[in-house]
Chain A
Amino acid sequence: MNEKIGVYVCECGPNISERIDIDRVLEEISSAEGVKVAKKFGLLCSNDGKNYLADEIKKEELTHLVVAACSPREHEQTFMNVCLEAGLNPYLFQLVNIREQCAWMISDKEEATRMAIKYIYAGISRVTLHKPLLKKELDSIPDVLIIGGGISGIEAALCLAGKDRKVYLVEKTESLGGMVKKFFELLPYQGSNLAVIEEKIEQVQNNENVEILTSSEVEDVRGFLGNFEAVIKSKSNGSETKEIKIGAIIVATGFKLFDPKNIPQYGYGKIENVLDALEFEQMSASGKILLKNGNPPKSVALIHCVGRNEKGYCSKVCCLYSIKFARHLQDKLPGIDVSEFYSDLCLPDKADQDYFEEAKKKGIHFIRADNLELKEKDGKINVEYKVAGGKKDSIAVDMAILAPAMVPSEDTSKLAEILNLPLDETGFFKEVHEMLDPISTPIEGVYVSGCALGPKNIPESIIQSQAASGKILSSLIPGKKIEPEVKVSEIREEFCTGCQTCLSVCFYGAISFDEYKGISVVNEAICRGCGSCVGICPSGAIRSKHFTYPQLYLEVLQALR
């Protein structure tokens, strides 16, 4: 053994020194195999302490460093930096936590000392097996691919495009604007006219740092944060494909409407003058609200919650746009009778309640009902329904407008497969954490924004796009290198049997199968070092750096000494 291990016990002021017999600890471990020096110091994380440690590393020509002090969650990085400064590879260092684990939790000084000795022994045994890992630096591409040219995608493009950063905005249809462009107006308090949207579209079109690829779809994506490659297929240019290199991706593919034909009792597609919400938006945009026979309607029923039970979630925006429809109908066709059929009203934002109350004052009927059924009767639509208590009732109207649930857009599952992203039980993309990390995905550098994550209104979609842009702006800085995790998994070829079990547990898609060699391969730039694959590999072929079997076994043995 040629190791020259230095063990330094931090007194942490009185925190450790008063509750652990440090002199006994030093006496015991100074004779451990490989230990060259064992000393104590007042406060190792102080500037004096750091200078002392750096001097010691050089003076004693240490090959490995063990510091017994606080939790690695507190000062591991501090001491790694000291190593770096002193010319010792920072991964040849082990921090042993004797403060939180011993001094602070075990009141009996004798017992705390005994446990501290155990932990330091474990640290000494494992540190000799540490490998001098090297932080790798990879060049990164600051450019961004945005999939979806609706309001979310446009907002993200505007936030991101700049002198040093190009944005590719890929849109499946021929034009930008997405669903919002089909609306005749926004909610009054959200900026009452669509000019704001038009302005944004114009800005993005005039931005020389945005390359707009309409009638195009993403065919394939490979790579990792800072270094993605995507294949874009253009439908208009005779299926021509284009390869682009980007550093990050935002998925903003939006939603589509649930098809009301799936629920026959609404009569959609069978009964004349039963429309869905988008059809009414477009009818209003054309300025001609007319029945099939060319006459304007005298009575309209607005049906909320179409498909809500079937899909199992509230779509959040339908109540408000149905109120918007009702008020628009009253404005355009004075004297019209409008009834809203709802099961629960969703008015989550601060201005929503007033908007609803005003509608009630204007004489719009709000009827809480279920078991709705639409039937054709004498050239009109008869809406049959049940109110609370089970009483049945019905009204006849000229036109019915359905508010169907928002569901994932057409290619969501295909795109999820291409990008290796999870979907939730509703079929929308799944965020890493609904509350704490609401726009991130398990794939670093890939974000989802807007209705691709689930129903939401325009302001919320814009917020998410700005958030995703913020994440990218702060993690993908032009000219700055990317430092991937180095304590990653590695597969020892000679032991891998090619069973591919590891592929099934890797949440990040960091492992692929080399068909030619018949073995699994880890992409170290993607691996996050959780060790799930190590834990599941039936042949012990995978090693997680710094958490290898020998290292953990030595820790177990020291625990049991």
Chain B
Amino acid sequence: MKQDFKPNIVGFLCNWCSYAGADLAGSSKLEIKPYLSVIRVMCSSRVNSNLVLNAFLWGADGVLIAGCHPGDCHYEKGNYYVRRRFALLKKILETLDLEPDRLQLSWISASEGKRYAEVVNKFAEDITRLGPSAFHTNPNI
């Protein structure tokens, strides 16, 4: 069963670093697992708790947030705000009976195409191992 499981992962990428890193991964023809749907935001700080939690409630098996490395945010401090929110969201996921590992925050710069592919593939692997999210499989929740 788990063998056939194709997870649905939502990835919020900031426009300036991580989305550009993804572009580089693409133009470098690096292979990624086709489980992640990218949503572009201007800054990772735009990704608030509602977006992440709703993604899970609607059946996402994993959510990836990616932004500029600390100190490199295009808007100076946005990634620090999302980092704090991320710590909080991890706690909230526990209370929802979701494995905190289903949410990941990564720093990927515009020059890190290789890292983008590695992060996405590793995350896809981790989520595949975790199996479908409880919200996905249990229609009663």
A353 within 8 A of B: no
Contact of A560 among B27, B40, B48, B58 (CB under 8 A): B58
**Closest chain A CB from B134 CB (angstroms):** 15
Chain A residues near B58: list those with CB within 8 A. 556-557, 560
Query: Which residues of the other chain, B, contact A105 by a CB distance below 8 angstroms?
Result: 25-26, 29-32, 117
B82 beta carbon closer than 8 Å to chain A: yes
A547 in contact (CB, < 8 A)? yes
Contact with B along A107-123 (1 / 0, CB 8 A): 11001101100110010
Closest chain B CB from A153 CB (angstroms): 26
Which residues of A sit under 8 angstroms from B25, Cβ to Cβ?
Answer: 100, 105
In the complex, which residues of chain A have a beta carbon less than 8 angstroms from the beta carbon of B29? 104-105
Check if A544 sits within 8 Å of B23, measured CB to CB: no
Residue-wise, chain B 15-47 has the 8 Å CB interface mask toward A (1 for contact) of 100011011011101111010011111110111
8 Å CB contact of A101 from B38, B41, B82: B38
| Contacting residues of chain A (442-501) with chain B, CB-CB under 8 angstroms | 442, 487
> For the complex, is B87 an interface residue (Cβ under 8 Å from A)?
no
Whether B23 contacts A119 by the Cβ 8 Å rule is no
B131 interfacial contact with A, CB 8 Å: no
A538 to chain B, nearest CB (A): 9
The segment from A247-255, A316-324, A528-536 found at the interface with B is A528-536
Q: A556-B51, A556-B55, A560-B8 are known contacts. Are A505 and B45 too (CB-CB below 8 A)?
A: yes
Measured between alpha carbons, how far is A559 from B37 in the docked complex, in Å? 6
Chain B min CB distance to A523 (Å): 16
Closest B residue to A489 using CB positions: B46
Complex Cα distance, B38 from A99, in Å, reads 13
**What is the chain B residue whose CB lies nearest that of A71?**
B23
Contact residues in B for A257 (Cβ distance below 8 Å): none
In the complex, B3 has a CB within 8 A of chain A = no
- CA of A2 to CA of B25, assembled, Å: 39
Interface flags for B68-108 (1: CB within 8 Å of A; 0: not) read: 00000011111001100100000000000000000000000
Residues of chain B with a CB closer than 8 A to A106's CB: 31-32, 34
Query: Are A547 and B55 in contact, with the CB atoms below 8 A?
Result: no
A72 to B32, CA, bound (A): 20
B39 adjacent to A555 (CB under 8 Å)? yes
In the bound complex, do residue B45 and residue A535 qualify as a contact, i.e. CB atoms below 8 Å apart?
yes
What separation, in Å, do the CA atoms of A114 and B8 have in the docked complex? 13
Closest to A552 in B: B51
CB-CB under 8 A from B26, the residues of chain A are 71, 99-101, 104-105
SS class, residues of chain B in contact with chain A: mixed
Cα of A385 to Cα of B132 in the assembled complex, Å: 70
B117 smallest CB distance to A (angstroms): 7
Chain B CB within 8 A of A507 CB: yes
Give min CB distance, B131 to chain A, whole Å: 16
Complex Cα distance A88/B55, Å?
Answer: 33
Residue of B nearest to A485 (CB): B42
Contact yes or no, B27 A104, CB < 8 A? yes
A49 located at the interface, meaning its Cβ lies under 8 Å from any Cβ of chain B in the complex: no
Residue of B nearest to A113 (CB): B34
> In the bound complex, what is the Cα–Cα distance between A72 and B38 (angstroms)?
13
Residue of A nearest to B74 (CB): A530
Give CA–CA (A507, B81) in the complex, Å: 12
A52 within 8 A of B: no
B32 pairs with A505, CB closer than 8 A = no
Which residues of B are found within 8 Å of A559, using beta-carbon distances?
A: 8, 10, 37, 39, 55, 60
Within 8 A of B (CB), among A513-535: 528-532, 534-535
> Is A535's CB under 8 angstroms from B37's CB?
no
- Say yes or no: A531 contacts B59, CB within 8 Å: no
Kindly state whether residue B54 has any CB partner on chain A within 8 Å.
Answer: yes
B8, B31, B39, B46: the one contacting A534 at CB < 8 Å is B46
How far apart are the CA atoms of A233 and B72 in the complex, in Å?
38
In the complex, A169 Cα to B70 Cα: how many Å? 37
Q: Beyond the given A74-B23, A556-B51, A556-B54, could you list 7 further A-B residue pairs with CB under 8 A, ordered by the A residue number?
A: A100-B22, A114-B34, A115-B34, A532-B45, A544-B42, A544-B46, A552-B39
Q: Which residues of B contact A (CB under 8 A)?
A: 8, 10, 15, 19-20, 22-23, 25-27, 29-32, 34, 37-43, 45-48, 50-51, 54-55, 58-60, 74-78, 81-82, 85, 117
Contacts from A to B (Cβ < 8 Å): 71-74, 97, 99-102, 104-108, 111-112, 114-115, 118-119, 122, 432, 442, 487, 505, 507, 528-532, 534-536, 540, 544, 547, 549, 552-553, 555-560
The 5 listed contacts between A and B (C-beta, < 8 Å) are A530-B43, A535-B46, A556-B10, A556-B58, A560-B60
